[in-house]
Amino acid sequence: MLAPRFNTRESERARAEPLELSLYSRDAGLANGQAGAVCFPRDASDVAFAVATCKKLGVPFVARGSGTGLAGGATPLDDALVIVTTQMNRVISIDAASRTAWVEPGLLNLDLTRAAQPYGLHYAPDPSSQQACSIGGNVATNAGGPHCLSSGSTTAHVLAVEAVLPNGEVAMLGSTAPDQPGFDLRGIFVGSEGMLGIATKVLVKLVPNPPQIQTMLLDFMSIDEAAATVSAIIAAGIMPAALEMMDSRITAAVEDFVGAGYPRDAAAVLLVEVDGLSGGVDHQASLITEIGRAHGAREVRLARSESERQLLWKGRKSAFGAIARIAPDYYLHDAVVPRSKLVGVLRTIYEIADSHDLTMMNVFHAGDGNLHPLIVFDRRVIGVWERVQAAGTEILERCLAAGGVLSGEHGIGLEKRAMMAQFFSEADLELQARVADALDPHGLANPGKVLPAGFRCGEVGINRTLPEGTWI
Span of 96-104, 164-172, 197-205, 317-325 interacting with other proteins by CB under 8 A? 317-325
| H or E segment and range at residue 211 | none
Shortest distance (Å) from residue 316 CB to other proteins: 11
Which residue in the set 4, 10, 11, 17 belongs to the binding site for other proteins (CB under 8 A)? Answer: 17
CA 298 centroid distance within chain: 32
Residues in 73-92 that interact with other proteins by CB under 8 A: 84, 86-87, 89
Q: Is 380 in the site for other proteins (CB under 8 A)?
A: yes
Comparing CB distances to other proteins, the nearer of 68 and 214 is 68
Shortest distance (Å) from residue 329 CB to other proteins: 7
424 dihedral zone (left: phi>0; alpha: psi -120 to 50; beta): beta
Shortest distance (Å) from residue 131 CB to other proteins: 5
Which residue in the set 36, 72, 73, 106 belongs to the binding site for other proteins (CB under 8 A)? Answer: 106
Comparing CB distances to other proteins, the nearer of 85 and 229 is 85
Query: What does the alpha-carbon distance between residue 332 and residue 361 come to, in Å, rounded to a whole number?
Result: 9
Query: What does the alpha-carbon distance between residue 195 and residue 448 come to, in Å, rounded to a whole number?
Result: 9
Comparing CB distances to other proteins, the nearer of 415 and 440 is 415
Are 197 and 164 in contact, with CB atoms under 8 Å apart?
A: yes
Shortest distance (Å) from residue 341 CB to other proteins: 29
Which residue in the set 1, 91, 110, 421 belongs to the binding site for other proteins (CB under 8 A)? Answer: 110
Strand ranges, E, within 223-304 = 242-247, 268-276, 299-302
Are 270 and 243 in contact, with CB atoms under 8 Å apart?
A: yes
- The alpha-carbon radius of gyration of the chain (Å, integer) is 22
Close Cβ partners of 349 (under 8 Å, ≥ 6 residues apart)? 360, 362, 371, 373, 395, 398
Which residue in the set 324, 401, 431, 457 belongs to the binding site for other proteins (CB under 8 A)? Answer: 324
Q: Residue 315: which of 267, 376, 271, 371 has the closest Cα? A: 271
Give the strand pairing for 268-276 and 329-332: unpaired
Comparing CB distances to other proteins, the nearer of 22 and 463 is 22
Q: Is 264 in the site for other proteins (CB under 8 A)?
A: no
Q: Is 67 in the site for other proteins (CB under 8 A)?
A: yes
Q: Is 321 in the site for other proteins (CB under 8 A)?
A: yes
Q: Is 113 in the site for other proteins (CB under 8 A)?
A: no
Shortest distance (Å) from residue 469 CB to other proteins: 16
Comparing CB distances to other proteins, the nearer of 257 and 424 is 257
Which residue in the set 131, 151, 180, 310 belongs to the binding site for other proteins (CB under 8 A)? Answer: 131
As to burial, measured by CB atoms within 10 angstroms (0-12 exposed, 13-18 middle, 19+ buried), residue 175 is: middle
Give the strand pairing for 80-84 and 35-39: parallel
Which residue in the set 11, 98, 114, 277 belongs to the binding site for other proteins (CB under 8 A)? Answer: 114
Comparing CB distances to other proteins, the nearer of 56 and 325 is 325
Comparing CB distances to other proteins, the nearer of 328 and 454 is 328
Using CA atoms, how far residue 40 sits from 37, 70, 197, 241, 345, in Å, is 10, 22, 16, 37, 44
Which residue in the set 119, 257, 350, 424 belongs to the binding site for other proteins (CB under 8 A)? Answer: 257
Comparing CB distances to other proteins, the nearer of 257 and 350 is 257
Using CA atoms, how far residue 2 sits from 7, 12, 37, 73, 164, in Å, is 9, 14, 7, 22, 19
Shortest distance (Å) from residue 152 CB to other proteins: 25
Comparing CB distances to other proteins, the nearer of 201 and 339 is 201
Comparing CB distances to other proteins, the nearer of 129 and 150 is 129
Query: What does the alpha-carbon distance between residue 231 and residue 342 come to, in Å, rounded to a whole number?
Result: 8
Number of chain residues interacting with other proteins (CB under 8 A): 42
Residues in 30-59 that interact with other proteins by CB under 8 A: 40
Close Cβ partners of 118 (under 8 Å, ≥ 6 residues apart)? none
| H or E segment and range at residue 127 | none
| H or E segment and range at residue 100 | strand 100-103
Which spans of this chain sit near other proteins (rule: CB under 8 A)?
Answer: 17-20, 22-24, 26, 28, 40, 66-68, 84, 86-87, 89, 106, 108, 110-111, 114, 117, 129, 131-133, 254, 256-257, 318-325, 328-330, 380
